[in-house]
Amino acid sequence: MASVPASSANPASPPHHIRKVAGIWSLLFASLTAIVGSGWLFAPLNAAQQAGPASVISWIIGAVAILLLAFVNAELTTAFPGMGAVITFPKLSHGSLMAAVMSWVVFLGYVTVAPAEVLAVVTYANNYLPGLVHTHSHLLTPMGFAASVVLLGVFVVINALGVKALLRVGNTVMIWKLIVPALTVLVLLAVAFHGSNFSSQGFAPMGVQGIVGAVAASGIVFSFLGFRQAVELSGEASRPQRDLPIAIVGSVLIAAVLFIGLEVAFVGALSPSSLAQGWSKLHFAGSAGPFAGLAMLVGMSWLAVLLYIDAVISPAGTGLVYGGTTARVVYATGRDGLSFGWLASLNQRGVPAAGLWVTWIVGMLFFLPFPSWQKIVTFISSATVLGYGVGPVALMTLRRTMPLSEYQRPFTLQGAGLWAPLAFIISNFIIYWSGRATDDFLFGALLLIFLVYIIVQAVTGKIAQLQWAGAWWLLPYFLGMWAITHFGPKDGVIGGVGLYGFYTGMGLVVLLSLLVMWMAVQSGLPDPREAKTVIQASDPERLAAASME
C-alpha cells in the first residue's frame, strides 16, 4: 500500500458516518464467533500428534499468551477506539512509517483468515458434494476454487449490509457454534473416555519442545485469534470504555474452557489401539474430520451428523466476521494516511465499501499459494501475532510519553511494566515456534513490500517525509527474529540450519525481545499530539479546561 500525505488521509466531509450500534453482547459474540471457527475442528488432532496428552498444556499456554495480548489491547482500545484500531496504535505511539509497516503485517494476517475458513467449509462440504477437493491432498479442484471464490463473495455481500446485520447474523450463528462443541465434550466424556490414554505412553512423550511447538504449529494460536474482533469493532461500540475489556477478555476465557475441554475429550475418546504406533503417527478412520470420525467410532452417528453440519456453519461464521474486520483494517490505513485516501470511503450503511472489495480480491489470490487449510493457518498465526505483538510496545511507549498522572485511561492495566514485556516475549516465542519455513516467507514478503514502498516514496518525492526516527528499530527486530529462527535447530518444529539448540534459540528470543522493547519505547514520538487529542476528547473535564485556556 502506498502512502499519501496526511492532509489527504481523511476525505473532507465524508458522506456517511460510523454507526455506534455494537453493545457488550454483540462485541462478546463477535469475538466468540471468530474464535470458535475451524480451529477446534482440526487443532485437537494436530496438537495430540505433536504433544501427546500434554497437548492440554499447549492449549493453556496458548490461552495465557493470547490473554496477555488481550489485556494489553484492552487498555489501548478503550483509550483509542476506532475502526481498524490495531493500525492506529503504532501510528499514535511511533508515527506513520511504523504504522505503515505494521499495517502490512496486520493485513497479511487478517486477509488470509476468511480464505482459510472458506477452505475449511469447502473441504468438509466435499463429503456431500464430491469434486471440490482432491481426495488425498485436500487441495482445491477447479470446481472447489470457483466455489471458494463465490463463498468469499457472499461474506463480502453480507458485510456490505452494515455492522448491525453482521452482528445479527454472527449472534445467531454463535448459539449453534457454542452448543455443538460443548455437546461434543459432554458426550465423548460420558460414553468413550479412556483415562489410560493420558499415561500409557507418558503424559508428554515429545517433551517440552512438542508442547510449545503445538502452540504455534497445530492451530492453537490460530483458534484463539478471534478475540481481536471486538478490537476492530471498537469504533462502532456504543459504550467502548465499559464493554470492550469485558468482551475481549471474556471471549478468551470462555473459549479457553471450551478448547481445553475438547482436547481432554478428544484424547480420552481415542481407542487405545489407535496409539499403538505412538502419538506422532496417530491415525484412525475419519481422522480428516476428527470429532465426527470419533463420534462414528463410538456409535454416536447423530452427533457425527451435527459435527459435519457444524464443520460448515462454524468456519462460515468466523469467515463472515473476518471479512468485515479485514475491511475495517483497510479502512484504517486510508483514514490514517497510511495508504490511498479512497480506501477510507464508507457506503450508505457506514461500512468501508472499498475495504470489502480489497478483502475479496486479495483473499481470492491467497487461494493460489495456499489451496488447503493446513497450508495457511501457521502463517496466519505468525503474521497476526507479529502484528499484535507491537501492542505491548505501543502501550509502554504511550505510558512514557503520556503518563497516567496527566492522561487517565478509561481502563488501566495494572502491572503493565511486567505484563507488557512478557506479552511481547511470548509473542516472539510464537513466531519462533512457527518455524523457519513460515518465518522465511513472512519476513521475505515484508522485505519485498518495504522495498516497493520505499521506491514509490522516492519516485513521488515523499521519502523525506517518512518518520524514520519512530520506525528504525523494526529493522533489528525483524532481522533478529528471522535470524534466530532461520539458524535455529534442524529437528523438531523449527527446521532451521542447526547452529544451536531449541532452548538456546528461546534464550536469544528473550534477549532480543527485551532489547527491542527498550529501543522501541525510547524511539516513540516525543509529543504524541494526536493521541493526546483523543484522550482529551474522551475526558469532558479536561476538554472543558483546554477550551478555557
Q: Over the stretch 520-541, which tens digit does the pLDDT of each residue have?
A: 999 999 998 888 887 777 654 4
pLDDT score of 231: 66
Which residues touch 199 (CB under 8 Å, ≥6 apart)?
53
Number of domain units in the chain:
1
Secondary structure percentages of the chain, helix, strand, coil, to 5: 75, 0, 25
Whether residue 419 contacts residue 391, with contact meaning beta carbons closer than 8 Å, is answered with: no
Spatial separation of the C-alpha atoms in residues 87 and 332, rounded to whole Å: 7
Strand partners, 107: none
Determine the average pLDDT of the residues in 213-217: 88
Closest CA to 84 of 64, 107, 101: 107
Residue 542 inside a domain? The answer is: no
Spatial separation of the C-alpha atoms in residues 175 and 435, rounded to whole Å: 36
Residue 393 inside a domain? The answer is: yes
pLDDT score of 184: 94
The answer to whether residue 16 scores a pLDDT higher than 50 is no
pLDDT tens for 436-453 read 988 998 999 899 988 888
Determine the average pLDDT of the residues in 147-159: 84
Spatial separation of the C-alpha atoms in residues 221 and 156, rounded to whole Å: 25
Residue 406 inside a domain? The answer is: yes
Spatial separation of the C-alpha atoms in residues 159 and 22, rounded to whole Å: 14
pLDDT score of 42: 84
pLDDT score of 185: 95
Greatest C-alpha distance within the chain? 78
Which residues touch 106 (CB under 8 Å, ≥6 apart)?
86, 87, 329, 383, 384, 387, 388
pLDDT score of 375: 73
Determine the 3-state secondary structure of 47 from DSSP.
helix
Spatial separation of the C-alpha atoms in residues 303 and 297, rounded to whole Å: 11
Query: Regarding predicted confidence, which is higher, 472 or 227?
Result: 472
Determine the average pLDDT of the residues in 328-344: 75
Residue 222 CA from chain centroid, whole number: 6
What band does 478 get if pLDDT is binned at 50, 70 and 90?
A: very high
Straight-line distance from the first to the last Cα atom of the chain, in angstroms, rounded to the nearest whole number: 40
pLDDT score of 522: 95
The answer to whether residue 84 scores a pLDDT higher than 70 is no
pLDDT score of 5: 37
pTM of the model: 0.81
pLDDT score of 543: 42
Query: Regarding predicted confidence, which is higher, 513 or 245?
Result: 513
Spatial separation of the C-alpha atoms in residues 341 and 331, rounded to whole Å: 9
Helices (H), 80-198: 85-94, 96-111, 113-125, 142-160, 163-191
Range of the domain at 272: 6-534
Residue 546 inside a domain? The answer is: no
Residue 539 inside a domain? The answer is: no
Residue 136 CA from chain centroid, whole number: 29
What band does 35 get if pLDDT is binned at 50, 70 and 90?
A: confident
C-alpha cell at 270: 481415542
The CA radius of gyration of the chain, in Å to the nearest whole number, is: 23
Strand partners, 140: 133
Determine the average pLDDT of the residues in 309-324: 79
pLDDT score of 183: 94
Burial of residue 483 (CB within 10 Å: 0-12, 13-18, 19+) is middle
The answer to whether residue 13 scores a pLDDT higher than 60 is no
The answer to whether residue 172 scores a pLDDT higher than 80 is no
The amino acid at residue 331 is Y
pLDDT tens for 87-111 read 778 889 998 888 888 888 888 887 8
Residue 153 backbone phi and psi in degrees, to 5: -65, -35
Whether residue 54 contacts residue 210, with contact meaning beta carbons closer than 8 Å, is answered with: yes
Residue 355 inside a domain? The answer is: yes
Residue 541 inside a domain? The answer is: no
Residue 545 inside a domain? The answer is: no
Q: Answer positive or negative: Cα dihedral of 93, 95, 99, 102.
A: negative
CA distances from 6 to 15, 333, 340, 480 (A): 20, 11, 10, 31
What band does 499 get if pLDDT is binned at 50, 70 and 90?
A: very high
pLDDT tens for 251-288 read 889 999 999 999 999 999 998 888 888 898 887 776 66
CATH at 520? 1.20.1740.10
Determine the 3-state secondary structure of 499 from DSSP.
coil
Spatial separation of the C-alpha atoms in residues 109 and 365, rounded to whole Å: 14
Query: Regarding predicted confidence, which is higher, 42 or 188?
Result: 188
